[in-house]
């Protein structure tokens, strides 16, 4: 079975290579025409190109990310706009180029390809606003109101011709001297990992670096020994990549064979309903020290502890309402490409994990989940998937998805963890909490869990597609409550 599956994967990869080679002249033709007749256009490339597709009404696909920062103090919206403009929009690299230039841009299409173009009449006031209590007819903004606001925000379509990001400042959160910074952007603009660099730029005052003088840079003076070491390392990396590509069909076929019997939908969806609307929930904050203590006690990874809480909670919620479960849970776990490039990018590895679900205890679940994450860290599948997506981005229209879709693995959920453990402050006002949410592009994964944190604490942000009708109302909040119970029990067991 693995042999025939590997042959199918090889044939699909060869088809991708063949079609990509055929598309190269057309892409070069489009690139040339754009340079001559539309020089303001910049062709979308790589993973960004896959997130730049449009819906039937012409709007960009709402694959959105939302981050909520809690600031212990008041922020004036005009001062924040000035801060954002100075530290983010005008931040430049060594060559003098804008690091976050896509904040000024929107997507248009040219001869079958999505392209970045400058937003007309760009006005920062259209992207950074303050929540108006009077206009909304309320006098208190608490957690319940936040959940409602985030759900509405996540599901809102983007305005045509405007760059795909906005920030809302919510003053006096929970009737305290606290401000929420709610940042939303579309995945074509950036992935969640690269948005950390935006937070770092906001929180640290830096003078803009001067353009890089390549001729006088002392780093260009290298000894012969260093050149030999560099060449040797490049050869090792090349061989490692080539080996990954050659073994990719077998490794992917082996994974698909193990996962085949567990590819069962956990719920029933309405195929006629929109797939881009979500329900949202989030947990309370948990100390990162407790997660690290569990990590040390059981000899597992940090992400393993976090994922175990989610998988246990999901299993409990499904069993509570007599919904189907499987012996093994399939999940997508994304990780950034290292070293991660600066600026706004979509540069990450898509990896899949298969973990035992039905276990006897928390310790048993942790120990049985850890090998799956260890395999993921060493897996070559995610590396080759990265190159496949980069290659397919050359294809016009929806052809890129049509060619690559058969290679993707069915998954029950998406899990991502990128805790931010550093000290973050804005104009000497401390950022005390962070929570994030993600709308998944996977057709099979209706449920997403994202873990982020600040000041040595973490939170889970959960999203669930609204088109699920086999689950009772508020099912996402049940999962959320069970995650909190799982982590609380884990913390108690460590004492």
Highest mean pLDDT among 31-35, 373-377, 408-412, 454-458: 31-35
320-345 pLDDT, tens per residue?
A: 999 989 999 999 988 777 656 667 88
Q: What is d(CA 385, CA 302) in angstroms, rounded to the nearest whole number?
A: 24
Residue 180 has pLDDT above 90, yes or no: yes
Residue 212 has pLDDT above 90, yes or no: no
Average pLDDT over residues 81-108: 91
Over 90: is that where the pLDDT of 450 sits?
yes
Q: Is the pLDDT of residue 271 over 90?
A: no
CA distances from 132 to 21, 129, 168, 172 (A): 53, 9, 10, 11
Decide which of 62 and 394 is more confident.
394
pLDDT at 421: 57
Q: How confident is the model at residue 82 (pLDDT cuts 50, 70, 90)?
A: very high
List the domains of the chain with CATH numbers. Answer: 247-493 (3.30.559.30)
Q: Is the peptide bond before 55 cis (omega within 30 degrees of 0)?
A: no
Least confident of 112-121, 208-217, 335-344: 208-217
What pLDDT is attached to residue 40? 93
**Radius of gyration (Cα) for the chain, nearest Å?**
23
**pLDDT above 90: residue 478:** yes
**pLDDT at residue 217, as a whole number:** 41
> Tokens 């830096």 sit at which residue?
206
Helices 224-259 + 2-37 axis angle, to 10: 120
Residue 216 has pLDDT above 50, yes or no: no
pLDDT of residue 219: 44
Confidence of residue 308 (pLDDT cuts 50, 70, 90): very high
Position 49 scores a pLDDT of 81
- Say if residues 269 and 465 touch (Cβ distance below 8 Å): yes
Report which listed range, 192-196, 275-279, 299-303, is most confident. 299-303
124 close to 84: Cβ distance less than 8 angstroms: yes
Closest by CA position to 348, among listed 423, 425, 414: 414
Least confident of 222-231, 360-369, 389-398: 222-231
Phi, psi of 158 (to 5 degrees): -80, 145
Using the predicted structure, report yes or no on whether residue 52 has a pLDDT greater than 80: no
pLDDT, residue 59, reads 67
Do residues 88 and 102 make contact, with C-beta atoms less than 8 angstroms apart? no
**What b/e readout covers 50-64, taking b as 16+ CB neighbours within 10 angstroms?**
bbbbeeeeeebbbbb
Per-residue H/E/C for the chain = CHHHHHHHHHHHHHHHHHHHHHHHHHHHHHHHHHHHHCCCCEECCHHHHHCCCECCCCCECCCEEEEEEEECCCCCHHHHHHHHHHHHHCCECCCCCECCHHHHEEEEEECCEEEEEECCCCCHHHCEEECCHHHHCCCCCCHHHHHHHHHHHHHCCCCCCCCCEEEEEECCHHHCCCEEEEEEEECCCCCCCCHHHHHHHHHCCCCCCCCCCCCCCHHHCCCHHHHHHHHHHHHHHHHHHHHHHHHHHHHHHHHHHHHHHHCCCCCCECCCCCCCCEEEEECCCEEHHHHHHHHHHHCCCHHHHHHHHHHHHHHHHHHHCCCCCCCEEEEEEEEECCCCCCCCCCCEEEEEEEEECCCCCHHHHHHHHHHHHHHHHHCCHHHHHHHHHHHHCCCCCCHHHHHHHHHCCCCCEEEEECCCCCCCEECCEEEEEEEEEECCCCCCCCEEEEEEEECCEEEEEEEEECCECCCCCCHHHHHHHHHHHHHHHHHHHCC
Q: For 226-245, what is the mean pLDDT? A: 82
- When pLDDT is averaged across residues 186-207 and rounded to a whole number, the result is 77
36 falls in which pLDDT band (50, 70, 90)?
very high
What is residue 218's predicted lDDT score, i.e. its pLDDT? 42
- Read off the pLDDT of each residue in 98-124 and give the average, rounded to a whole number: 91
Decide: pTM greater than 0.95.
no
- Residues 458-486 have a mean pLDDT of 94
Average pLDDT, the chain: 86
Output the pLDDT for position 328: 92
Tokens of 13: 């990869």
- What is the dihedral sign for C-alpha 215, 218, 223, 225? negative
Residue 479 clears pLDDT 80, i.e. is over it:
yes
Is the pLDDT assigned to residue 432 strictly greater than 50?
yes
Please give the average per-residue pLDDT across 254-268, as a whole number. Answer: 90
CA dihedral 280, 127, 61, 195 (to 10 degrees): -70
pLDDT at residue number 225 = 65
pLDDT bucket at 144, cuts 50 / 70 / 90: very high
Q: Which band of pLDDT confidence, cut at 50, 70 and 90, is reported for residue 112? A: confident
Q: Which one is predicted more confidently, 380 or 340? A: 380
pLDDT exceeds cutoff 50 at 359: yes
User: Which of 180-184, 246-250, 388-392 is most confident?
Assistant: 180-184
Report pLDDT for 340.
Answer: 62
Query: What is the percent of the chain where pLDDT is above 90?
Result: 46
Q: Return the minimum-mean-pLDDT range out of 146-150, 154-158, 180-184.
A: 154-158
Which residues, other chains included, contact 139 with Cβ-Cβ below 8 Å and sequence gap of 6+?
Answer: 133
Between the CA of residue 133 and those of 44, 130, 140, 148, what are the distances in Å?
Answer: 39, 9, 8, 15
């Amino acid at each position: 079975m693995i042999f025939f599956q590997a042959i199918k994967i090889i044939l699909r990869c060869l088809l991708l290579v063949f079609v990509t080679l055929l598309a190269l002249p057309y892409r070069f033709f489009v690139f040339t025409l754009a340079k001559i007749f539309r020089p303001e256009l910049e062709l979308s490339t790589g993973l960004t190109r896959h997130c730049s597709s449009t819906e039937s009404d012409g709007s960009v696909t709402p694959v959105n990310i939302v981050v909520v920062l809690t600031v212990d103090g008041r922020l004036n919206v005009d001062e924040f706009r000035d801060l954002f403009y100075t530290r983010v929009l005008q931040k430049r690299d060594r060559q003098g180029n804008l690091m976050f230039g896509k904040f000024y841009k929107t997507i248009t299409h040219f001869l079958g390809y999505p392209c970045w173009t400058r937003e007309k009449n760009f006005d920062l006031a259209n992207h950074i606003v303050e929540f108006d209590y009077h206009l909304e007819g309320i006098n208190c903004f608490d957690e319940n109101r936040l959940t409602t606001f985030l759900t509405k925000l996540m599901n809102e379509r983007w305005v045509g011709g405007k760059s795909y990001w906005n920030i809302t400042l919510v003053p006096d959160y929970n009737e305290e001297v606290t401000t929420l910074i709610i940042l939303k952007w579309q995945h074509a603009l950036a992935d969640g990992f690269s948005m950390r660099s935006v937070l770092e730029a906001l929180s640290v005052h830096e003078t803009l670096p001067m353009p890089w003088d390549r001729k006088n840079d002392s780093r260009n003076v290298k000894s012969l020994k260093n050149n030999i070491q560099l060449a040797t390392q490049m050869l090792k990396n090349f061989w490692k990549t080539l080996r990954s590509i050659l073994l990719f069909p077998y490794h992917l076929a082996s994974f698909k064979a193990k996962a085949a019997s567990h590819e069962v939908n956990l719920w029933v969806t309405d195929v006629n309903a929109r797939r881009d609307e979500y329900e949202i929930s989030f947990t309370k904050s948990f100390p990162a020290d407790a997660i690290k203590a569990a990590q040390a006690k059981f000899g597992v990874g940090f992400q393993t502890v976090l994922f175990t809480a989610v998988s246990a909670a999901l299993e409990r919620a499904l069993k509570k309402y007599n919904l189907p479960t499987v012996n093994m849970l399939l999940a997508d776990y994304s990780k950034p490409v290292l070293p991660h490039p600066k600026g706004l990018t979509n540069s990450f590895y898509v990896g899949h994990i298969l973990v035992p679900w039905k276990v006897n205890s928390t310790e048993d679940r942790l120990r049985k989940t850890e090998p799956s994450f260890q395999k993921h860290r060493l897996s070559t599948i995610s590396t080759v998937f990265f190159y496949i997506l980069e290659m397919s981005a050359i294809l016009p229209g929806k052809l890129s998805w049509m060619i690559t879709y058969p290679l993707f693995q069915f998954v029950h959920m998406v899990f991502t963890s990128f805790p931010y453990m550093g000290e973050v402050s804005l104009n000497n006002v401390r950022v005390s909490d962070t929570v994030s949410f993600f709308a998944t592009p996977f057709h099979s994964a209706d449920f997403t869990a994202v873990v982020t944190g600040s000041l040595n604490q973490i939170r889970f942000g959960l999203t669930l597609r609204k088109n699920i009708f086999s689950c009772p109302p508020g099912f996402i909040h049940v999962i959320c409550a069970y995650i909190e119970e799982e982590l609380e029990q884990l913390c108690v067991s460590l004492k």
